[in-house]
Amino acid sequence: MKYLVFLLTALLLPSAAQAMNTSYSELLRQISPERRAELSVPVPSAPETVKSVMPEQSDSGRYWVTASASNSRERTALLEKGLDIVEINSGSVSGFAAADTLRALSSEGLIASFRAISAARDFPSYDSAYHNYKETSELMQAIAAKNPDIASIFSIGKTVEGRDIWCLRFNTNAKGMTASSKPGAFFLGNHHAREHLSNEVPLLLAAWLMDNRNRPEIKKYLDSLDIFIIPMLNPDGVEYDISGGRYHMYRKNMSRNSDGSFGTDLNRNYDFLWCKYGSSNNPRTDTYCGKAAFSEPEAKAIRSFFAAHPNIKTHISYHTYGKQILYPYGGTYDEVPSEKDKKAFIKIGNEMAELTGYINRKSSDLYVSSGDSCDWAYKAHGVLAFTFELDGRNFYPSASEIDSVVSKNINAAVYLLSMTANPYK
Ligand code: 0X9
Ligand code: ZN
């Protein structure tokens, strides 16, 4: 079975990945202000604009369209005419349309504005150092290919739109999905689509660990632990958020809801006090908890992943932003039942706060929201699970900020590795 997984992985991921540079310092060099200046990447002061010309009959492109619609009936009519509604505002909706749909809507006087979107789904040029799904997958594949004795890559499941959710694993004797009795540490990013730094931190952590694998103080963890890294849990949402070379401020996954709207908040979809507090059962809202606990394939994949790896002891789920380290519970003001675990959360969290300059606190101090992944991981599996709210003053910090955020978070992650074999020491 495991050979089948490797074969499929090799077939599914482009071979270009084999030749890719995986060096941590080179990855950082690519995002340095000097390098960006060298490449003369312009940093625009305003979002890029695309000249909009009504498409010809032969045009097969896609368009981002804003059309007028003030009520559910009008929105339903737009859906039936082929508009893929993504955002609903008062008096208008925005979404994707093929050229012929755009022409038809325009002839009925329904179009407020439109712009062509490039087939490529990518970050705006000034933030091209961030890794999109393809680049993330290729880099993970390249890291695994360069370190075959210790690293493997496998998919933990597929997203709503059918993308693989890739996991990199560092373990000297267990590869792919096979079980291991070594203590496990698990780093996870991008529950929320627009939180792109939360992909960069675990992704570059993986590159850094492999670059430094022979340093005795790192080798001892690589030899004795089972390390899992899933940098991008919600690639559908990420690809939507960066589609057309601009940001969409999108948070959720890409599930189609019964009212035609999109998305469940994946960090409200786990089965601990599901949909009780700080979440909404209105599908159009950003904090929609989904039809049921674990209704979403991405959350289900995480559930199966934890079930398959009961050796996992420690965990960080990366989010942005706020410079906080949050420990359970966040779904209730109640304390975790074990005094020993509470002490470990405070001690380990405080140490990681020292290393990052973040504040360590109980998650509910921020706000109470139930159904989040870390509460569930702790409650269901006893995992010492921390939510990190990384730096940034908004959801789109400049690529030049990646370096410092990643570096300090590597220190915190390595400290967590040092505590994984015995978190209570
Ligand atoms: O609300 C969330 O899911 C997280 N914040 S974010 O801005 N990244 O969306 C925080 C989760 C922390 N958990 C609780 N306070 N329950
Ligand atoms: Zn988040």
Cα–Cα nearest to 156, from 278, 40, 299 = 299
Per-residue pLDDT tens for 349-386?
A: 999 999 999 999 999 998 899 999 999 999 999 999 99
Q: Could you please state the CATH topology (level 3) that the domain comprising 4-30+125-420 is classified under.
A: Aminopeptidase (3.40.630)
pLDDT of residue 17: 55
pLDDT of residue 301: 98
Which of 267, 317, 376 has most ligand 1 atoms within 8 Å of CB, for mutation? 267
What is the pLDDT at residue 191?
98
The predicted structure's pLDDT at residue 226: 98
Reply yes or no on whether 200 is catalytic. Answer: no
The per-residue pLDDT for 395 is: 87
Those residues of the chain that have pLDDT short of 70 are 1-19, 31-52, 58, 60-61, 84-88, 117-121
What pLDDT does residue 125 have?
Answer: 83
**HSE (side-chain half, CA atoms, 13 Å) at 83:** 29
Where are the alpha helices (H) located in 13-125, listed in sequence order? 16-19, 24-31, 33-38, 72-80, 99-107
pTM: 0.82
The pLDDT of residue 18: 56
Catalytic entry in 200, 239, 351, 389:
389
Please give the pLDDT value at position 85.
63
Measured in Å, residue 268 CA sits from the centre of ligand 1 at 9
Ligand 1 within 6 A of CB of 363: yes
C-beta 330 within 6 A of ligand 1: yes
Q: What residue's CA is closest to ligand 1, atom 5?
A: 319
User: If you write DSSP's letter for every residue of 98-160 in order, what string do you get?
Assistant: EHHHHHHHHHTT-EEEEEEE-SSB---GGGTTS--HHHHHHHHHHHHHH-TTTEEEEEEEE-T
What does the chain come to in residues? 425
Contact 60, 101 (CB under 8 A): no
Residue ranges covered by each domain of the chain: 4-30+125-420, 62-116
